[in-house]
Homo-oligomer: A and B are copies of this chain.
Amino acid sequence: MADLEVRALTFDVFGTVVDWRGSVIEEVERLGRSHGIDVDWESFADAWRAGYGPGMDRVRRGELPWTPLDGLHRLILDGLLDQYGLAGLTEPEIERLNRVWHRLKPWPDVTEGLQRLRQKYVTATLSNGNVALLVNLSKHAGLSWDCILSAELAMQYKPDLEVYQTAADLLGLSADAVMMVASHEFDLQAARRAGFKTAFVDRPQLIDSVGAEHTDDGDGFDIVVNDFVELADRLGA
């Protein structure tokens, strides 16, 4: 890979940029304490996330119209309220809980790494999160991008190839001038099929039902790193 050919980096967000699981657990534990609800919040967070793939599949099959991720999150959450003792929450409390996905915290290496990478490359999100979610999450986390790109702009979800193609088109770049950065192999495999270059960020601490596998051999990805600072080092940023 001649890294000089790469003009833009597109970043997966949930798991790659932010610790979605730790952030959700921390906030629902606090919510539970304030409401006297004591359940297994790790199980709750994992169940919420586990509904995400099947939710997207319902859209893909046409059982649901196009639904931004905020809407899918809410559908899944509504199905979990009884089981996790949350049925007594008011509608504003439920809606606030649903927006915990707008308040996720970045991994500790992200702020420095992104700032350096942005000096050299166009940096953009490329997430299944909808635009509003990504805007609010980034603002809350103090992260700045050159562009917020989302599956919402293609009205498809990753790993459907249209999402990657739309992103490259909107950036005015050929696919091979864009590098996808992610901690999920399925995302990079799809990005590669769309013609992107690929950087795997190994986050072994990430437990994620959508598949954040540790990759021993790099699976042929162009770059394999442990965090965003190492990515900046490798890309000379």
**Most chain B Cβ neighbours within 10 Å, of A70, A147, A148, A173:** A147
Q: Is the CB of B135 within 8 A of A122?
A: yes
CB distance from A167 to the nearest CB of B (A): 10
Q: How many copies does the complex hold?
A: 2
Q: Does A144 contact B (CB under 8 A)?
A: yes
A45 at the interface (CB under 8 A from B): no
Q: Which residues of B contact A122 (CB under 8 A)?
A: 135-136, 139
What is the size category of the interface that chain A forms with chain B? Answer: 20 to 34
Which residues of B are found within 8 Å of A153, using beta-carbon distances?
Answer: 153
Q: Which residues of B contact A173 (CB under 8 A)?
A: 132
What residues of B have a CB within 8 angstroms of the CB of A138 in the complex?
146
* Interface residues of chain A: helix, strand, loop or mixed (majority): helix
Q: Does A172 interact with chain B (Cβ within 8 Å)?
A: yes
Contact of A131 with B by CB under 8 A = yes
A139–B131 CA distance with the chains assembled, in angstroms: 20
Min CB–CB distance A74 → chain B (angstroms): 12
**Which residues of chain B have C-beta atoms less than 8 A from A80's C-beta?**
none
